Amino acid sequence: MSSIHSTMTLASVTRPPTVDLVKSGLKRRYRAERRFRSYGMAAVIMSVLFLAFLFFSIVSKGYTAFQQTFIRLPIHFDPAEIDPTNPAAANYDGMIRQALLKRFPTVEGRNARRDLFALVSPGASFQLSAMARQDPSVIGRTVEVWLPANDDIDMLVKGQIDRDLPETERRLNNDQLEWVRSLQAENMIEKHFNRIFFTAGDSREPELAGIWGAAVGSFYTLLVTLVLSFPIGVAAAVYLQEFAPKNTWTDIIEVNINNLAAVPSIIFGLLGLAVFLNFFGLPRSTPLVGGLVLTLMTLPTIIIASRVALGAVPPSIREAALGVGASKTQVVLHHVLPLALPGVLTGAIIGMARALGETAPLLMIGMVAFIVDIPKGLTDPATALPVQIFLWADSPERGFVERTSAAIMVLLAFLIVMNATAIFLRRRFERRW
Amino acid sequence: MSPFTLFILLLGLSAAAYFVGRRKAFAVGRKIGGVNRMHSLPTYYGVLTALWCGIPALLIFSCWLMFESNVITSLVIAQLPEEIRSLPPNRLGLIINDITNLVHGNIVGGEVNRVIEQAAEHYRGLKAISHAALATVTLSLAILAVILVQSRISPRLRARNRVEQVFQMVLIACSCIAIVTTLSIVLSVLFEAIRFFRAVPISEFLFGLNWSPQLAIRADQVGSSGAFGAVPVFIGTLLISLIAMLVAVPIGLMAAIYLSEYAHKRVRDVAKPLLEILAGIPTVVYGFFAALMVAPLIRDTGGLLGLAVASESALAAGLVMGVMIIPFVSSLSDDVINAVPQALRDGAYALGATQSETIKQVVLPAALPGIVGSILLAVSRAIGETMIVVMAAGLAANMTFNPLQTVTTVTVQIVTLLIGDQEFDSPKTLAAFALGLLLFVVTLGLNIIALYVVRKYKEQYE
Amino acid sequence: MMKKVAVVAGFLFLAASIGVVGAQTSRDYISIVGSSTVYPFATVVAEQFGKATKFKTPKIESTGSGGGFKLFCAGVGVEHPDITNASRAMKKTEFDTCQTNGVKEIVEVKIGYDGIVMANAKNAPEFNLTRKDIFLALAKQVPDPKGGETVVPNPYKTWKDVNSSLPNIKIEVLGPPPTSGTRDAFTELALEVGAEEFPWLKALNKSDNKKFKEIAHTVREDGAYVEAGENDNLIVQKLQTNTNALGVFGFSFLDQNTDKIKGAKIDGKVPTFENIASGAYPLSRPLFFYVKKAHVDVIPGIKDYLAEFSSEKAWGPDGYLAGKGMIPMPDDERKKYAAVVKNMTLLEMK
C-alpha cells in the first residue's frame, strides 16, 4: 500500500498533469491534421487538374478542325468537255485550273503553275463531278463554287504555319503566300464548318479525311458486341448466381471469370487472331470479327456487374416469393431480375463504353488497314474510331494533328454521354435496401 | 421468299402460337371450373406452345441455311464444264467467288463469259428452289407443332416445368460460352507458346539478357541473331509500372481518403464522377497525349536542368499511365474505406484522436487488406496496358532502371511482333504468344493473390 | 444430366458450323499488302481509283515488302491478297515459294524509283557520310581498326570514332526491320558497297560469298541500330524529338517533311529529286508491285486499278505520284511497263 502511495506521489511530482501533456501536444497534432487534410485535398485537386490539362490540350489542338478553308472560284462547266450521258467523267481538274489561271493570269512557267494549282485540294474535282451528276442543269453555266483548299493552305489560314521562316524551310513558297493574301483581300477564301470531317471516310489528304467511316465501323462492331454479350452475359450471371450449385467447380469458374475481366485486352486480340481468323477463316478487318473479339472482352465485365446487382437483392425478397409458392425460375424472372435490372443495365453500358475505347485487340485482327469506303454491313472491311485515331496520330501532315485531336473529342463526347447515362440510371433507379 | 422474311414470319408464328395456346388453356380451364384448377398458369401453356412452334422450326432453318451454300455450290460445280471442274481447289474457289459475286449483284471482275453466266443462273435457280422448300418445310412444321401441342393442353400437362427446363438449359448454354471462352484463351495462347518453347528453351526466354527477335525471314537473308532473352523486356515493364504506381498510389489513396472522410457531400458528388471520367478515357487518347505533349515537355525540362533525357523516356509513359490508374486505386480504396464501420471511428474520436490520427491508426489498418488488394489489381492493370506504351515508349530492349532512358515493354513487343509479318511458324511470331502467356500468368497470379489477401485478412465486423 | 450434355454438344456443333459458313463469304474488293515505302503511293492511287470508278476502294495494309511476299506467295484464293507492293525486286527464293504454293502466274510491274535517305532533324548537325562510314558504324562486325584482315565486334560508339570529320554524336540509327524492302536495299546498296572499300573484303566477296554476306549484311544489335518498325512516319516524328538520331527511310518521306528533317549527304551527294532521278545519288532503288494473274478476272476492279496506276496521270513526270515524292521512270521504261500491264506479261525467273 505504502509503495504504491509513494510511487503515485513520485509521479505527481516529476510529471505534469495529463491535461497539460495533452494540451502541449495539441498544436502539433492539429497542425498534422491540417497537413494531412491538405494532402488529401491536393490529391483530389491534382487529379482534377490532370483531367483538365488533358481536355484542354486536346481541345486546343482540335477545335480548329471543325472548320475547313474553302476557296470560291467561278467554275465554267464547259459543255464541250462534259458528256451529258456521263457527266461524272469529264476533266474537272482542268476546269479548276482554268478558273485559277483566270484569277491569276500572270502566273507563267510549269513550276509556278503547279504551285498555283496546288492551292486547291486534289479532291475538289470529285465535288464538281458530283454536282454535275446530281444537277445536270449546271452544264453550260458558270457557277461560283466553294472548293476545299489544300491542307497546307488550310493550315496557313488557321495560322499554323510560321510565315517568318525562310522559304526553303516552309512547305509553301512566297508566291503561294502572296496569292492567298490576295484571295483573302477579296473574300474569296473563307473558313466554313467542316462538314467533310463528319461525312467522309479516311483519306490520304487531310482536307478530305473524315471520321464517318470509322464511326460506322465502330457502330457495327458495338452492335455485334451488344447483341452477343448482353444476353449471354446476363443469362450466365443469372445461372451462376441463382441456379448453380455451390461447389469447387463454380468457385473455379468464378475465379476464372474475375480474372478474365483483368486480362490485358491485347490477349483477346491474340485469341481473335488465332481462333477467328486462322481457325475459322472469317474475313479480316471486318466489324464481325471485331465485334466477336470485343464480346469476349466485355462478357466478364457484364457477368460480374450483373452478379453484383443480383446479389444486392436481399434474400428476404426471394424467400417471400418462395413462400407464396413461386418456383425458382419464377422468383428470378418475376422478382429478382426486375429489381436488379438497373445495376445490370449500368454494367452493360459501362462494358460498352470500355469496348468503344478499345484499340489493341482490333489492331491484332487487322482493322488497321487503309479503308476509304464507308462500310455497309458486318462483313465489309472497316476500321473503328480509336483505331482511326491511332492511325492518324502517325501521319506527318499537320492537318492530321488537328483532325486526330478533333476525332478524340468526338470519341470522348460519345463516352461521356454513355457514362453519364449509366450514372443517371444508377442514381435514378438504384434502390437502397 | 427470302430467308430474312421467313425468319420474321417464324417469329411471328411463334408469337401467334403463344396466344393460341393461352386461349386454349383458358378454354380448357373454363370446362373444369376455373383456370386455377390447371397445373400451370395459362401463360405457361402459351409459352410452351410457342416454344414447340418456334424452336424445332428455327433449328431446321439455321441448319438448312448453314449447309445450303455448300450444297448448292457443289451442285453448280458438278454442272460446270470439265476443264473448270478439274482446276485445283484454289482456282476453283476464285471462279466460285466470281459466280457468287454475280449472283449477289456485286460488281464482277472481268468479262462475264457464257459459262459463268449460266452457272450463275443455275445458282440462282437452285437457291430459289432451296428457299421455297425451306419455307414450306419450316412453316408446315411450325403449324403442325402448334396444332399438336394445342390439342394436348390439359389440366394435368405440367407446362411450367417444361418451360422452366428449357429456360434453365438456355442459361446453362450461355454459362458454358463464358467458360469455354476462358478455356480457349488459355488453350490457344498456351498452344502457340508451347510451339515457341520447342524452338527456344524456356530458360533462355526467362533468363536470357539479349532480346533481338527480328529474325531473317528468308533463307538468303541475314537478319538479327534471334536472341529471345526476355529479361530486358520484363525490366522495362517493371520500370514503367513502378513509376506509374509511384504516381497513382499516393494520389489515389489520398484522394479516396479525402473524398470518403473529409469532403463535403457536394464536393464528393462532383469529384467522384470526374474521377470516373478519368477512368473512362480510352487509352489511345492517353497514349497520344503522352507521345505528343508529355514526352517533349519532360525532354525539354531535362535539357534545361542539364540532364540527358531520351525522347521516349520511361518517365513520360509511366507518368501518364499513373494518371490513368489513379481512378482504379481511388474507387477501389474508397469502397473499402467506406466499409469500415463507423463504430471504430467513433471509438477513436471518443478517446480524443483527431481525424487524421483516426484514419492513420484505425481506419487504414482496418481497411489495409482491401487497399493492398486494390493496389495489386492496379499493378496488374499497369503491366497489361498496351496503347500508352506503344505510342510513348520505345522499341529497343534496354536493361536499365534509369527512368530518363528509353525502355520497351512486354505489350509493345507483342504488338510489334504481330503487326506485319504473321507467319505462324517462325519463332518470331510465336514469341509474341509466349510473351502473351507470360502476361496472362502474371496478371492471373496477381489477381489470385489479391483475392486471397482480401479474403484471408478481411475483418468480419458484423 | 444427359439433356444438358446434349444441349452443350448441340451448341458447340452450331458454333463450329459458323466457321464453315464464314469461309464461304465472297470478296468484292481488292486486297493489297506489302511495302511501307510504296504504301503512300498505293493509297493515293487506290483513293483516286475508288472515287473515280464504281469499284470499291482497295484495302491496303502496310506489312513490309518481305511480309507482303510471304502473304502473297501463300497461295491463290479469295483469302489471299491480290497484289503486293515491294520496294525491292522479288528474290528467287520467294519466287520459288510462290510456285510451290500454286501462285504460278505473276506479273511484275515497276512503278518508279525511290531514294533511300539517312535523315535527321532540321536543327541537328549536318552529316556528310560515305558508304564506308555507314558500314563501319552499323555493321555487327567490322575490320579490326588496328589493321589486318580480321573482323572484330563493332567498337565504335560515336560517329567521330568512325570518321574524325563527322560530328561527335553517339551512333543512333532508326531503321527498318528485316521484313522491309528498304532494309534489304539499304544493306545491298550501302553496307555491301561500304564493305567492299576494304580490298580484302572485296576479295572475300569473290572467294567466299557467304562469309562476305555475313560480315556485310549483319547489323549491330547493341542498341546503336534500332529496328523502328514498318511505320516510317513514326520514325520521322521520333527524329524531331531526338536530335541525335538518324533515320533510314524512303525519299518520299523526306520530300513530304522538308520543314522538319533534312537528308545527310551520301558520298558527297545531297538527296534531291534531280540527283536521284539522274542516278547521281548512290542509294536509289526501283519500286514494284506484283499481281496474281489468276485473280485478275475474278476479283472486281483489278484491271482498272492497274490501268489507273500505269496511267500518265499517276506515274508520269507531272503525275500526282511524283507530287508525293516518287521519282518517275524514264519515258521508255514507262512505255515498257504500261505494255506489261496491258498484256499481263508474266514474270520469269530462272
Residue found under cell 551527294: C269
Segment 16-35 of chain A within 8 Å of chain B by CB:
22, 29-30, 32-33, 35
> In this predicted model, which residue has the larger pLDDT, C338 or B105?
C338
Q: How far apart are CA B436 and CA B195, in angstroms?
A: 13
Sequence-separated (6 or more) residues with CB below 8 Å from residue C253: A396, C40, C117, C119, C232, C233, C235, C236, C325
Check if C218 contacts B (Cβ < 8 Å). Answer: yes
* Of residues B199, B383, B202, the one with CA closest to residue A267: B383
- Would you state the pLDDT for residue C24? 47
With 0.95 as the threshold, say if the pTM is over it: no
Contacts of A280 in chain C (CB under 8 A): 18-19, 22-23
Segment 49-88 of chain A within 8 Å of chain B by CB:
50-51, 54, 57-58
Percentages (nearest 5) of helix, strand, coil residues in chain A: 70, 5, 25
Nearest CA in chain C to A209: C47
Query: Tell me, what amino acid is at A190?
Result: E
Q: How far apart are CA C41 and CA C320, in angstroms?
A: 9
Residue ranges, comma separated, of all CATH 1.10.3720.10 domains in chain B are 227-460
On whether the CB atoms of residues B193 and B433 are closer than 8 A, the answer is yes
Whether A372 and C258 lie within 8 Å, measured CB to CB: no
The C-alpha of B138 sits at a distance from chain C's nearest C-alpha, in angstroms, of 18
Check if B295 contacts C (Cβ < 8 Å). Answer: yes
The yes-or-no verdict on residue C21 having pLDDT over 50 is no
Cα angle A66-A71-A77, degrees, rounded to a multiple of 5: 125
The C-alpha torsion from C179 through C180 and C181 to C185, rounded to 10°, is -110
- Would you state the pLDDT for residue C22? 44
Confidence of residue B429 (pLDDT cuts 50, 70, 90): confident
| The dihedral sign for the CA sequence B311, B314, B320, B323 | negative
Mean pLDDT for C77-100 is: 87
Whether A258 and B356 lie within 8 Å, measured CB to CB: no
Nearest CA in chain B to C4: B169
C247 bridge partner residues: C119, C174
Q: How many CA atoms lie within 13 A of C153 on its CB side?
A: 4
CA distances from B251 to A430, B314, B339 (A): 30, 20, 20
Check if B402 contacts C (Cβ < 8 Å). Answer: no
Whether B169 and C238 lie within 8 Å, measured CB to CB: no
Whether C51 and A123 lie within 8 Å, measured CB to CB: yes
Could you state, in order of their start, the residue ranges of all structural domains in chain A? 2-63, 67-205, 212-429
Check if B297 contacts C (Cβ < 8 Å). Answer: no
Q: How far apart are CA B381 and CA C214, in angstroms?
A: 43
Q: What are A319-375's pLDDT values in tens digits?
A: 999 999 889 999 999 999 888 888 888 889 888 888 888 888 888 788 888 888 888
The yes-or-no verdict on residue C9 having pLDDT over 70 is no
Mean pLDDT for B168-181 is: 84
Whether B387 and A415 lie within 8 Å, measured CB to CB: no
**DSSP designation for C290:** E
SS3 of residue C272 by DSSP:
coil
Contacts of A279 in chain C (CB under 8 A): 19
* Of residues B286, B229, B246, B293, the one with CA closest to residue B435: B229
What nine digits make up the cell of A135?
444537277
Q: How far apart are CA B424 and CA A277, in angstroms?
A: 12
Whether B288 and A408 lie within 8 Å, measured CB to CB: yes
Whether B414 and A239 lie within 8 Å, measured CB to CB: no
The C-alpha of B429 sits at a distance from chain C's nearest C-alpha, in angstroms, of 12
Mean pLDDT for B16-21 is: 89
Check if A275 contacts C (Cβ < 8 Å). Answer: no
Whether C229 and B416 lie within 8 Å, measured CB to CB: yes
Residue found under cell 422468383: A331
Continuous H helices in A104-211: 110-117, 124-134, 151-157, 174-185, 195-199
Is domain B227-460 given the CATH code 1.10.10.10 in the classification? no
All partners of chain A with 3 or more CB pairs under 8 angstroms: B, C
What nine digits make up the cell of A296?
469476349
The C-alpha of C55 sits at a distance from chain B's nearest C-alpha, in angstroms, of 7
The yes-or-no verdict on residue C323 having pLDDT over 90 is no
Whether C63 and B91 lie within 8 Å, measured CB to CB: no
Which of A259, A296, A411 is most worth mutating to test chain B (most B CB atoms within 10 A of its CB)? Answer: A259
What is the CB neighbour count within 10 angstroms for residue B364? 17
Sequence-separated (6 or more) residues with CB below 8 Å from residue A38: none
Contacts of B171 in chain A (CB under 8 A): 235-236, 238-239, 243
The C-alpha torsion from B273 through B278 and B279 to B283, rounded to 10°, is 160
- Would you state the pLDDT for residue A432? 61
CATH topology of domain A212-429: MetI-like fold (1.10.3720)
Task: Point out the residue among A122, A170, A285 whose CB comes nearest to the CB of C320.
Answer: A122
The C-alpha of A112 sits at a distance from chain C's nearest C-alpha, in angstroms, of 13
Whether C4 and B172 lie within 8 Å, measured CB to CB: yes
The yes-or-no verdict on residue B200 having pLDDT over 50 is yes
Check if C100 contacts B (Cβ < 8 Å). Answer: no
| The dihedral sign for the CA sequence A256, A260, A262, A268 | positive
Q: What are B129-139's pLDDT values in tens digits?
A: 888 888 888 88
- Would you state the pLDDT for residue C185? 86
Check if A154 contacts B (Cβ < 8 Å). Answer: no
| The dihedral sign for the CA sequence A343, A346, A350, A351 | positive
Check if A250 contacts C (Cβ < 8 Å). Answer: no
User: CA Rg, chain A, in Å?
Assistant: 33
Contacts of C217 in chain B (CB under 8 A): 221-222
Task: Point out the residue among B277, B383, B385 whose CB comes nearest to the CB of A51.
Answer: B277
Contacts of A370 in chain C (CB under 8 A): 39, 43, 46, 59-61
Element (H, E) at B212: strand B211-212
Q: How far apart are CA B167 and CA B171, in angstroms?
A: 6
> In this predicted model, which residue has the larger pLDDT, A180 or A280?
A180
- Would you state the pLDDT for residue B462? 47
* CA C301 to the chain's CA centroid: 25
- Would you state the pLDDT for residue A312? 82
Segment 129-158 of chain B within 8 Å of chain C by CB:
none
Task: Point out the residue among C19, C50, C318 whose CB comes nearest to the CB of A373.
Answer: C50
Mean pLDDT for B412-438 is: 75
Check if C163 contacts B (Cβ < 8 Å). Answer: no
Contacts of B380 in chain A (CB under 8 A): 262
The overall average pLDDT reported for chain A is: 84
Q: What are B228-285's pLDDT values in tens digits?
A: 888 888 888 999 999 999 999 999 999 999 988 888 888 888 888 888 888 888 888 8
Q: How far apart are CA C104 and CA C106, in angstroms?
A: 6
On whether the CB atoms of residues B440 and B186 are closer than 8 A, the answer is yes
Mean pLDDT for B440-456 is: 82
Whether C57 and A395 lie within 8 Å, measured CB to CB: no
Which of C25, C36, C47 is most worth mutating to test chain A (most A CB atoms within 10 A of its CB)? Answer: C47
SS3 of residue A226 by DSSP:
helix
Q: How far apart are CA A160 and CA A64, in angstroms?
A: 10
Say if residue C62 is exposed, middle or buried (CB neighbours under 10 Å; 0-12, 13-18, 19+): buried
Check if C2 contacts B (Cβ < 8 Å). Answer: no
Segment 333-372 of chain B within 8 Å of chain C by CB:
none
Check if C19 contacts A (Cβ < 8 Å). Answer: yes
The C-alpha of C158 sits at a distance from chain B's nearest C-alpha, in angstroms, of 16
Check if A235 contacts C (Cβ < 8 Å). Answer: no
Confidence of residue C5 (pLDDT cuts 50, 70, 90): low
CA distances from A419 to A347, A408, A413, A425, B281 (A): 10, 16, 10, 10, 10
